[in-house]
Structure 1
Amino acid sequence: MKIVLIEPGSTIANVYSKISMPLLGPVYLGTILKNQGHEVEIYKEDIYTPDYAGIKADIIGISILTATANRGYEIARKFPKEKVIIGGVHASLVPQEARRFARQVVVGEAEGVIGDIVNGEVRDEIVYGKPVENLDLLPYPDFSLIKGYRLPAFITPVLTSRGCPFDCSFCSVTKMFGRTYRFRSAENIRKELLAVRSKNIFFCDDNFTANPKRTRQLLEFLVRMKKRHWACQVRCDAAKDESLLALMARAGCNTACIGFESVNHKTLEAYDKKQTIEEIIHAIGSFHKKKIKIHGMFVLGGDDDDKKTVWDTLRFAVRHKIDTIQMMILTPLPGTKVYEELEKQKRIFSRDWSLYDGQHIVFAPKLLSARELQMNVLKAYARFYSVYNTLVLFVRLHFRNAFLRLMGHKIVKDWLRHNRSMRWLAQEGIFS
């Protein structure tokens, strides 16, 4: 059977559209189906968009995030409905919506059910996948299935765990992967890394250091591998273990992506983040002492945020020399606590999913207007990723940070070019 899996193109504001790092979900599913004897092709539109009219396949699988849902549905319409299966985070959050465009929708993790669906053994319109309890049983992802994907890639994503016990009010991770951590063994990861030819690795776990004992085993292996550079996502509390940080640095960690979320302590409490500003400052200092760069991720627009919060965030990032930042606008993803609260208060004014990418305001904030929040975040972004700041870093020989600032400058510039009219803000009513 011929199966085509598709990852719809990212929005213009998504940095992953610039570095072409694929979602792992379609690659895992494609590898499983290939191992079962099927002919599999994967298309990531950010890398290569095929002529869909020329695609002949028995099954079309489309994996959607909320921001790519509209594009995913557009692709689905190009094929007979009885051939289309839709999965991914957004489909798991709103399966009845996705069902309008497909014969079947998979909710949750699909690895355990995809074979039965393709073979016709499971015919339910909405199929509930079960969490993969033993992640060591997953095959190593075969990236050669992705059309147009150059190997070895500049950076290769590697998953070592799923789930998160924290339940931040704006996050959809627990809706997809649950609140229980599941880990691959260090030995299983080691074998995958031996086959990865890329010199750069991104550990895409939501919290890479969640199991310190297993993390140490993996880091010891990375030390022996040498000459590998990698990035990961961690919480601030990773900085409390100085010996672990030292081992991360020795093992080749060059960037830690940390969800700081806010410099407003009231907002941190509302987000249910379970961390303090003091812990954020300590984490920044600790990572920098180990020569590990920081990509700081902030979410702006909580009910206790105002215009000053936006600029306090920028000043905080500059003062503490955070290397790169992501200033996301609070996005009420379906199924999250934030969505439920804003929906109840009738404050969401747009359900155009393409705007749900963290860079468009789609609800009415409390302490400032939607337009004020949108424009101030953009101005703060532009200030941080200015050409001047890029040149300063270049002159100081910080070439990597200068390159990343230049990339950020281009993303902001492209976003402004595509959104100059701010047309979606008219939907709030007061901007008409």
Structure 2
Amino acid sequence: MRILLINPPWIRRQGNIWLNIASVMPPLGLAWLAAQLERAGHQVLILDAHAERLDLEMIAARLRELGSFDLVGITATTSLIGNALAIARLARAEYPQARIILGGVHPTVLPEEVLSEPAVDLVVRGEGEMTLLDIAAGKDQRDIAGISFREGDGFVHNPDRELVPDLDSLAPPAYHLLPMDRYYPAAGAYQRLPAVSMLATRGCPGRCTFCYRLFGKRLRVRSGRRMAEEAKNLQDRFGIREICFYDDTFTAFRKEVLAFLDGLKELQVDLAWSCFSRVDAVDEDLLRRMKASGCHQIMYGVESADPEILKNIGKRITPDLVERAVRMTQAAGIDVRAAFMVGNPGETAESLETTFRFALRLNPDLVVFNIATPFPGTEMYRWADEHGCLTTKDWQQYDFSRPILELPTVSHAVLSGFYRTVYRRFYLRPSYITRRLGKIRSWNDLRQALRGVRGVLNV
């Protein structure tokens, strides 16, 4: 079959910190799907409309240029579902005989909402590689696990698809189908260019109420050796000099992290790299070895300095544990990016200030403050919907920069005011500016700093 996979353009608005500092990274989900389809003999193209900065009119023109397709697959998160459905309509007009498929988090959680769009034929729920192979092979849709579709005046939801037990059994992502020269990390999050993202795991050991576990409750990991080989391929084929691991908890499997480090050394791969982790999933020895292998930054989800709020959101950490992990990471010579989420259940004006003072005490290299956003499918969303705490179901509003929860303990005005001022309060301190200026070693460092300044001033 001839198959087109599309990554919709993202939406960012003025007043959102991510307008200026966000990364543009490969849509790894689509790249993994494409790799399995190619291995099965199908012809696959990926249109990364976000990386190519295409609006809907430009996407329509590109669809006309690309010729006909048998299948069109479109991925969508909650905030992008509007764009994804608009692209489905464009694809239906251009390819009337094609099957239009939507997948990703939002279609998985709300398949009937997505199937209410006449242009959409099927929804793939959850992990999509094996499901899409069945669809492309022409299997009867009634016999395909993990899909939803319309039938008569109703909807059919086939049983869930079992997760891929061995991630190493999958062909590595089809980076060759992507515009590799268009990708770059978030401001302040890299040392070298060109850079791309990788994933070592699927799932997360956490049980936070604000996360939807698309890949199930069981955490799976790729072998460290395979990850090192993939990194070497990226360097040899595309000249990649930095890897950003976007796993929720990269260090969850210590054994495979060490195997990855050993693999980089054995294969003589000289990379700078960064990752996300949890404060309860690192130790001094591991951090030292990561640093020696090129790791220069770790992002920890701190969320709040209020123990009661941490309990409310199921974070299962304490401020003391956060401070211990941050100090260990700093002592190892690795930069810390601390991510906070404000406006959670139980938030007050006082807890906001407590969290800000905690951020000052931690003194990380970078901070991010997002407003708690209850995405569909999460425990937080169910709680908010049941208690009448949602202010809107306009999904484009779910962008981490505006209050979606109506809480009795803190007003929208207080929360929005905190968001508008917290970045300047943290980043425009003379002590911070002096420290960051002292770390500028190249034009690249200066460009990142200027991106960060623009982002702070935009909020």
Q: Paired residue for 2:109?
A: 93
Match of 1:182 among 193, 217, 220: 220
Deviation at 1:391, TM superposition (A): 4.9
Q: Given that residues 382 and 409 in structure 1 are in contact (C-alpha distance below 8 angstroms), is that contact kept between their aligned partners in structure 2?
A: no
Q: Does 1:32 align with 2:36?
A: yes
Residue type at the aligned position of 2:135:
I
Q: Does 1:164 align with 2:181?
A: no
User: Aligned partners of 2:179 and 2:429: how far apart in 1?
Assistant: 35
User: Aligned partners of 1:243 and 1:121: how far apart in 2?
Assistant: 50
Q: Does 1:144 align with 2:156?
A: no
Deviation at 1:41, TM superposition (A): 1.7
Deviations 1:366-400 (A, max 9, x none): 21212321221121023334497775345424457
Moved more, 133-142 or 378-387: 378-387
Match of 2:455 among 395, 411, 424: 411
Q: Paired residue for 2:60?
A: 52
User: Aligned partners of 1:58 and 1:149: how far apart in 2?
Assistant: 28
Deviation at 1:227, TM superposition (A): 2.9
Deviations 1:206-233 (A, max 9, x none): 1111111222221222345353111111
User: Aligned partners of 2:20 and 2:75: how far apart in 1?
Assistant: 16
Q: Does 1:199 align with 2:241?
A: yes
User: Aligned partners of 1:166 and 1:238: how far apart in 2?
Assistant: 11
SS at match of 1:85: strand
Match of 1:339 among 381, 385, 409: 381
Moved more, 144-153 or 287-296: 144-153
393 and 349 in structure 1: CA distance in 2 versus 1, 3 angstrom threshold: same
SS at match of 2:344: coil
Moved more, 120-129 or 88-97: 120-129
41 and 226 in structure 1: CA distance in 2 versus 1, 3 angstrom threshold: closer
SS at match of 1:10: coil
Residue type at the aligned position of 1:41:
L
Q: Given that residues 393 and 402 in structure 1 are in contact (C-alpha distance below 8 angstroms), is that contact kept between their aligned partners in structure 2?
A: no
When normalised by structure 1's length, the TM-score is 0.88
SS at match of 1:109: coil
Residue type at the aligned position of 1:411:
G
Mapping for residues 12-411 of structure 1, pairs under 5 Å? 12=12, 13=16, 14=18, 18-48=22-52, 49=54, 50-53=58-61, 54=64, 55-56=66-67, 57-80=69-92, 83-101=99-117, 102-124=120-142, 125=149, 126=157, 128-147=160-179, 149-150=181-182, 154-172=194-212, 174=213, 176-197=214-235, 198-224=240-266, 225=268, 227-239=270-282, 241-386=283-428, 391-398=433-440, 404-411=448-455
107 and 404 in structure 1: CA distance in 2 versus 1, 3 angstrom threshold: same
Q: Paired residue for 1:421?
A: none
Deviation at 1:330, TM superposition (A): 0.9
SS at match of 1:220: helix
Deviation at 1:269, TM superposition (A): 0.8
User: Aligned partners of 2:277 and 2:285: how far apart in 1?
Assistant: 15
User: Aligned partners of 2:338 and 2:254: how far apart in 1?
Assistant: 22
Deviation at 1:178, TM superposition (A): 1.1
User: Aligned partners of 2:421 and 2:20: how far apart in 1?
Assistant: 22
Deviations 1:322-380 (A, max 9, x none): 11112111111111111111111111011111121222211212212123212211210
SS at match of 2:276: strand
Deviations 1:90-134 (A, max 9, x none): 111111112223100011000111121123314252564331111
SS at match of 1:11: coil
Q: Given that residues 21 and 455 in structure 2 are in contact (C-alpha distance below 8 angstroms), is that contact kept between their aligned partners in structure 1?
A: no
SS at match of 2:280: helix
Deviation at 1:295, TM superposition (A): 1.2
User: Aligned partners of 1:404 and 1:385: how far apart in 2?
Assistant: 14
SS at match of 1:132: coil
Q: Given that residues 385 and 406 in structure 1 are in contact (C-alpha distance below 8 angstroms), is that contact kept between their aligned partners in structure 2?
A: no
Q: Given that residues 161 and 183 in structure 1 are in contact (C-alpha distance below 8 angstroms), is that contact kept between their aligned partners in structure 2?
A: yes
43 and 220 in structure 1: CA distance in 2 versus 1, 3 angstrom threshold: same
User: Aligned partners of 1:297 and 1:122: how far apart in 2?
Assistant: 45
User: Aligned partners of 2:210 and 2:277: how far apart in 1?
Assistant: 17
Deviation at 1:18, TM superposition (A): 4.2
Residue type at the aligned position of 1:334:
P
Deviation at 1:83, TM superposition (A): 2.7
Moved more, 333-342 or 112-121: 112-121
SS at match of 1:69: helix
Deviation at 1:69, TM superposition (A): 1.2
Q: Paired residue for 1:427?
A: none
Gaps of 5+ in 1: 417-432
SS at match of 1:202: strand
User: Aligned partners of 1:151 and 1:341: how far apart in 2?
Assistant: 37
Cα RMSD (Å): 2.5
385 and 97 in structure 1: CA distance in 2 versus 1, 3 angstrom threshold: farther
Moved more, 85-94 or 115-124: 115-124
28 and 353 in structure 1: CA distance in 2 versus 1, 3 angstrom threshold: same
Q: Given that residues 205 and 252 in structure 2 are in contact (C-alpha distance below 8 angstroms), is that contact kept between their aligned partners in structure 1?
A: no
Aligned residues: 412
User: Aligned partners of 1:135 and 1:410: how far apart in 2?
Assistant: 40
Gaps of 5+ in 2: 143-148, 150-156, 185-192
Deviations 1:186-220 (A, max 9, x none): 22222212201111101222111111122222122
200 and 142 in structure 1: CA distance in 2 versus 1, 3 angstrom threshold: same
User: Aligned partners of 1:8 and 1:360: how far apart in 2?
Assistant: 22
Specify which structure has the bigger relative contact order, considering alpha-carbon pairs within 8 angstroms and separated by 6 or more residues.
2
Q: Given that residues 75 and 104 in structure 2 are in contact (C-alpha distance below 8 angstroms), is that contact kept between their aligned partners in structure 1?
A: yes
402 and 238 in structure 1: CA distance in 2 versus 1, 3 angstrom threshold: farther
